[in-house]
Amino acid sequence: MAEKSKILGDVHDHEGLVKAIKQVDVVISTVGAELMAEQHKIVSAIKEAGNVKRFLPSEFGGDVDLSQVVEPATDYIELKRKIRRAVEAEGIPYTFIVSNGFAQYS
């Protein structure tokens, strides 16, 4: 089994983010809603690093390309769509996780 590790990066530190990304094969973004727009910085750093085999952007939930939403969610969904398009445009291998909504299980 391959060695496992967790390496953290800061979206506000491009050089540090590139350095962290160069140490891994897979990048899993778990930024919350308040930093969703900052994922373009992760995409840029992945492209610069040039070694990532898979990127999973933080967009867990409904399929934003199929969603038909109304305000106040339209801006947020459009932001997630823009991140998808940026990942695709850069040619980065990716996986979009579409878990749809779910509630508490009892």
The pLDDT tens digits along the chain (106 residues) read: 567 778 888 999 999 999 999 999 999 999 988 999 999 999 999 999 999 999 999 988 788 888 787 888 889 889 999 999 999 999 999 999 888 776 666 6
Distance of CA 14 to the CA centre of its chain: 16
**pLDDT of 61:** 79
- Amino acid, res. 70: V
State the first-to-last Cα distance of the chain, in angstroms, to the nearest integer.
35
Domain limits, the chain: 14-90
Contact present, 7 and 20 (Cβ < 8 Å): yes
Residue 103 buriedness (CB in 10 A; 0-12 / 13-18 / 19+): exposed
Domain 14-90 in this protein, CATH class: alpha beta
Closest CA to 24 of 34, 9, 39: 9
**What's the CA angle centered on 99, arms 43 and 101, to 5 degrees?**
120
Is residue 6 part of the annotated active site? The answer reads no
**pLDDT of 15:** 96
Of 19, 53, 80, 82, the catalytic one is 80
**pLDDT of 80:** 92
Q: What is the value of pTM for the model shown?
A: 0.84
